[in-house]
Amino acid sequence: MPVVAEIQAPVRSVPRYCPERPFPTYRYVPGLQAHPLRDPAGHSYRAEPRRTQPAPWEASRWRSLIDWLFGVDLFNAFYFWEAHESWEGLWAAKARDSAPARLLQGLIQIAAALLKIHLQSPAGADALSRDGLDKLTATAAACPKLLGLELPETANQFRHYFRPLKQRTLPPLDASVPLFLLAGASDV
């Protein structure tokens, strides 16, 4: 098995949608660092109590969804595991067959696929990316713009990025990883 190093984010200009929340002290990679929530040495150990009942929310109010906005910031800065954690409560608060739930589940799977790329697991990355893209594409067909994302464009960018996985080749974790850029979010 290859030696796993820390994830290094490329230097690129990326808007912050939730600048009041600082990034964690490290990007969690399973098996490399202390688990952020369960280990006392973890970057988010006892930081915030986890909700047992997710709070209801409306997709039309995405500009005020701090967990959504911070998850986008985390994802764009290559904190893939942390982005998934930020979005999970939002996903859990929606009906599974709703467009927001499908979108969030797809984005969580895309973030997990990127972790699998870092862990040099082409089979895991391929399965997760396909599942995530399927959900993103299905949501885009019904709702082209959701949570500030242009879904057809986002799906196309990730489809192109993940293309090497079809040949069991890992795409690079560099500036070619698509960003989540939220339309009209400059007033957030």
Domain presence at residue 83: yes
- Tell me if 103 sits within 8 A of 51, measured CB to CB: no
Domain presence at residue 28: no
Q: What are phi and psi of 59, to 5 degrees?
A: -60, -35
Q: What pLDDT score does 73 carry?
A: 98
Domain presence at residue 10: no
Domain presence at residue 174: no
DSSP string for the chain: -PPP----PPP-----S-TTSPPPSS---TTTS--TTTSTTSTTTTTSPPPSSPPP--GGGGGG-HHHHHHHHHHHTT-HHHHHHHHHHHHHTS-TTSHHHHHHHHHHHHHHHHHHHHTT-HHHHHHHHHHHHHHHHHHHHH-SEETTEEHHHHHHHHHHHHGGGGGT-PPPSSTTSPP---TT-TT-
Q: What pLDDT score does 55 carry?
A: 83
- Tell me, what CATH number does 70's domain have? 1.10.3450.10
Measured between alpha carbons, how far is 121 from 113 in angstroms, rounded to an integer?
9
Minimum mean pLDDT among 24-33, 122-131, 151-160: which range? Answer: 24-33
- The set of residues, in sequence order, having a beta carbon less than 8 Å from that of 77 and lying 6+ positions away, is 9, 14, 23
pLDDT by residue (tens digit) across 40-55? 655 665 666 555 567 8
Domain presence at residue 27: no
Confidence check: pLDDT of 185 > 50: no
- Tell me if 67 sits within 8 A of 52, measured CB to CB: no
pLDDT by residue (tens digit) across 134-144? 999 999 999 99
- The set of residues, in sequence order, having a beta carbon less than 8 Å from that of 38 and lying 6+ positions away, is 45
Domain presence at residue 40: no
pLDDT by residue (tens digit) across 80-108? 999 999 999 999 999 999 999 999 999 99
Domain presence at residue 44: no
* Rg, C-alpha atoms of the chain: 16
Number of domains in the chain: 1
Mean model confidence pLDDT for the chain: 88
Residue 74 belongs to what domain range? 61-167
Q: Packing angle between helix 122-142 and helix 99-118, nearest 10 degrees? A: 160
pLDDT band at residue 188 under the 50/70/90 scheme: very low
Q: What pLDDT score does 25 carry?
A: 87
